[in-house]
Amino acid sequence: MKWQTGRRSGNVEDRRGMRSAGIGVKTGGGLGMVVMVLLALYFGVDPSVFLQSGLQQGPADTGSTQAPPAPGEDPLAEFVAVVLGDTEDTWRTLFQAAGGRYEEPRLVLFSDAVQSACGYAQAAMGPFYCPADRKVYIDLSFYRDLRERHDAPGDFAQAYVIAHEVGHHVQNLLGIADQVQRRRAQVDQEAGNRLQVRMELQADCFAGLWAHHADRSRGILEQGDVEEALNAATAIGDDRLQRRAQGYVVPESFTHGSSAQRVRWFERGFDTGEVEACDTFKAREL
Ligand SMILES: [Zn+2]
């Protein structure tokens, strides 16, 4: 993916290295520090930077304020900012064309664990979107998982993950998320899960739609990029959604639809570039 010259979104909140005041992680001193040092090594930062600031900071639940990285120093975070910026440009144009206004989501980078308006979340749960605060949450170590555990490498696979979560934000703006939630409350679990699958497949379709317009407008795609995204769509069988319950997140896995379905809906968005083509709720066959 050609992203280096892209516009960086100003909507990224960097909470990496911060202690989360969530329930059950009073990591204080030792363990939290080990995690930070490991992360530092992972991101290629000299861990002594963390060790020093950590010692000054003390063991309480205080967030550290890191200086923003110099350009080129933190390529993964920059990449995320560019992809987010591109989804903003794409969806702004699409909303305007339909006579609406696109309200941009924010994206939170975190490490280890994070407190969201939807509850407390751990990195292992994967990236998620919280409708209550309109933020996308992602721990960048998920990308290592994607590459190594799910065998879905490539920068466009990473972009697809963000575009999918932004797709959930679009569903929120369009009122689809609310409608689905109301309907789910009226039906049994099985029917509720079927609705949820349509919700997920629509987010995949919206991700494909973003790729369509981003490539048309800004020529971001390189050879093999779409295959990377489709490979990721195939690999991530289920991610986990946050649920508002007792102040913390209860991880609940559910199907996102079969791999073939995820690929089909991504392609439908990518081929047509039309929001109407992504109406998974009307579709007879998924
Ligand atoms: Zn999703």
Whether 130 and 242 have beta carbons less than 8 Å apart is answered as: yes
204: CA distance to ligand 1 center in Å?
8
Distance 16 CA to ligand 1 centre (A): 22
Could you tell me which of 207, 221, 230 has the C-alpha nearest to residue 87?
Answer: 207
Taking the mean position of all CA atoms in its chain, how far away is CA 219?
A: 22
- Ligand 1 centroid distance, CA of 60 (Å): 34
Q: C-alpha dihedral over 152, 92, 117, 240, to 10 degrees?
A: -20
Report how far Cα 229 is from the mean position of its chain's Cα atoms.
14
141: CB partners within 8 A, 6+ apart: 39, 42, 111, 123
The amino acid at residue 59 is P
154 has which bridge partners? none
pLDDT at position 29 is 46
Is 88 in a helix, a strand, or coil?
Answer: helix
Residue 202 CA to ligand 1 centre (angstroms): 9
pTM to 2 decimal places: 0.78
In whole angstroms, what is the distance from residue 283 CA to residue 277 CA?
10
Instruction: Please name which of 86, 81, 52 lies closest in space to residue 66, comparing C-alpha atoms.
Output: 52
CA–centroid distance, 240 to ligand 1, in Å, is 8
Asked if 277 and 206 touch (Cβ cutoff 8 Å), the reply is no
172: tokens are 């929120």
pLDDT number for residue 71? 65
- Cβ–Cβ under 8 Å, residues 146 and 235: yes
* 164 CA from centroid of ligand 1 (Å): 6
CB atoms within 10 A of CB 237: 14
| pLDDT score, position 124 | 73
DSSP per-residue string spanning 220-274? ---TTHHHHHHHHHHH----EE--EETTEE--EE-----HHHHHHHHHHHHHH--
Residue 151 CA, ligand 1 centroid: distance in Å: 19
Say how many Å lie between the CA of residue 70 and the centre of ligand 1. Answer: 32
**SS3 of 1, please?**
coil
- Determine the pLDDT at residue 69: 60
119: phi then psi, degrees, rounded to nearest 5:
120, -170
What is the Å distance from ligand 1's center to 56 Cα? 39
Surrounding ion ligand 1 within 5 Å at CB are: 200, 203
pLDDT in tens, the chain (286 residues): 999 999 999 999 999 988 665 444 434 444 444 444 444 444 434 333 333 333 333 333 334 445 556 667 788 999 999 999 999 999 999 999 999 999 999 999 998 899 999 888 887 778 889 999 999 999 988 888 888 877 778 899 899 999 999 999 999 999 999 999 999 999 988 888 889 889 999 999 999 999 999 999 999 999 999 988 888 877 764 443 333 223 333 333 455 677 788 889 999 999 999 999 999 999 998 8
CA distance 213 to 226: 13
For residue 9, how far is its CA from the centre of ligand 1 (angstroms)?
22
Element (H, E) at 66: none
Report CA(10)–ligand 1 centroid distance (Å): 23
All structural domains of the chain with their residue ranges:
12-16+70-278
Q: How far is the CA of 74 from the centre of ligand 1 (A)?
A: 26
**Ligand 1 centre distance from Cα of residue 166 (Å):** 9
